[in-house]
Amino acid sequence: MQNRIDNLFKQKNKNILSIFLTAGYPKHDDTLAIIKQLDACKVDLIEIGIPYSDPLADGPIIQQSSQVALENGVTLKNIFEQLKNLRSVTQMPVLLMGYINTVLQFGIETFYQKCNEVGIDGLILPDLPLEEYNSVHKVYAQKYNIHVVFLISPNTSAQRIKVIDEQSKGFIYLVSSNSTTGSGKELPTTLVQKVEDIKNLHLKNPLLMGFGIKGKPEFDAACKLVNGAIIGSSFITLVGHSTNFEKDISQFISTIKN
């Protein structure tokens, strides 16, 4: 079975730009409009956050956007409703990112089935343990051709990374947490060394770096080390303030790409 994430990395394995947006933010029906504009700007990957009341692995900006989206009345059910026309808008790989309780209440198999129906290619569920993925989720992920992407940090042990690489499909999300990410052009040398060590494990999956990638300097620094990076909070801030998605998103993306 073909998956758009695999196809992307077959064509391109450097400078992958992934953008994170929160479904139903800033307005309930903005989701598809933002995706459409990201498609026009030719980013490589899109991650759609499912708003959650208690997003443990997210920073304050994404947390706040989740809160607003929930106040806008967004539910997982109407996210799938909004994404019904996803594939008439873009052929880019699209992942959903959310927390396990939301999936559990929706129904695990129904969730994977719905993802497949609307054309979702992958999932990032930060609080889904690898062991639970194997025992419960994997069968549905395979049945509905959804790649489940796992997170690692620079402090994850080599042994654990190898296990995760073995189980992962699509790519691995390398979290450079707040304490280790620099704000300047250069990444801290300790982080660089740890990432080099991870690369020396010769993983089968590409690596994308996320958390703390705010703009072009951080994006470029991350791309020197790994296959690409994910921009979340600063994109959320942009759309939160935007009165003209077309103009603002184009400008934001071109600043990063050029």
Partner 1 sequence: MTATKNQFNVNEFGYYGQFGGAYIPEILFNNVEELKNNYLTIMNSQSFKTEFDDLLKNYVGRPTPLYLAKNLSKQFNTTIYLKREDLNHTGAHKINNAIGQILLANRLGKKRIIAETGAGQHGVATATVCALMGLECIVYMGQADIERQAPNVARMKMLGAKVVSVTSGTKTLKDATNEAIRDWINHAEDTHYIIGSVVGPHPYPDMVARFQSVISAEIKTQLLSCVGKQNPDYVIACVGGGSNAAGAFYHFLNDLEVQLIGVEASGKGIHSGHTAATLTVGTPGIIHGSKTYLMQTNDGQITEPYSISAGLDYPGVGPVHAYLFETKRANYLSVTDDEAMHAVINLTQKEGIIPALESAHALAALSQINFKPSDTVVLNLSGRGDKDLTTYINYLDTHTHAK
Distance CA 138, CA 166 (A): 13
Beta bridge partners of 16: 228
What is the C-alpha R_g of the chain? 17
Binding segment for partner 1 (CB under 8 A), chosen from 8-16, 26-34, 73-81, 237-245, is 73-81
Q: Which of 29, 30, 44, 58 is catalytic?
A: 58
- Is 190 a binding residue for partner 1 by CB under 8 A? The answer is no
Nearest to partner 1 of 13, 134 (CB atom): 134
Q: Which is nearer to partner 1, 78 or 250 (CB)?
A: 78
- Cβ distance 26 to 240 under 8 Å? yes
The three-point CA angle 43-170-236 to 5° equals: 40
Of 102 and 242, which has the nearer Cβ to partner 1? 102
Task: Candidates 6-14, 113-121, 124-132, 187-195: pick the segment binding partner 1 (CB under 8 A).
Answer: 124-132
**Contact call for residue 35 and partner 1 (CB under 8 A):** no
3-state SS, 168-210, equals: CCCCEEEECCCCCCCCCCCCCHHHHHHHHHHHCCCCCCCEEEE
**Which pair of structure tokens corresponds to residue 108?**
């695990």
Does residue 71 interact with partner 1 by CB under 8 A?
A: no
76 binds partner 1 (CB under 8 A): yes
The active-site residue out of 6, 29, 30, 47 is 47
- Active site includes 44? no
Instruction: Work out the burial of residue 204: count CB atoms within 10 Å of its CB; fewer than 13 is exposed, 13-18 middle, 19 or more buried.
Output: exposed
By DSSP bridging, strand 122-124 and strand 228-231 are unpaired
Binding residue (CB under 8 A) for partner 1 from 14, 42, 160, 247:
160
Residue 178 near partner 1 by CB under 8 A = yes
Could you give the CA distance from residue 104 to residue 118 in angstroms, rounded to a whole number? 19
29 neighbors 2 (Cβ within 8 angstroms): no
Q: Which residue among 3, 177, 237, 250 contacts partner 1 (CB under 8 A)?
A: 177
The yes-or-no answer on residue 166 being catalytic is no
| Strand, coil or helix: 199 | helix
Give the interface segment with partner 1, choosing from 30-38, 52-60, 188-196, 224-232 (CB under 8 A): 52-60
DSSP 135: I
What is the binding site for partner 1 (CB under 8 A)?
Answer: 52-54, 56-57, 59-60, 63, 67, 70, 75-77, 99-106, 126-130, 132, 150-153, 155-157, 160, 164, 175, 177-179
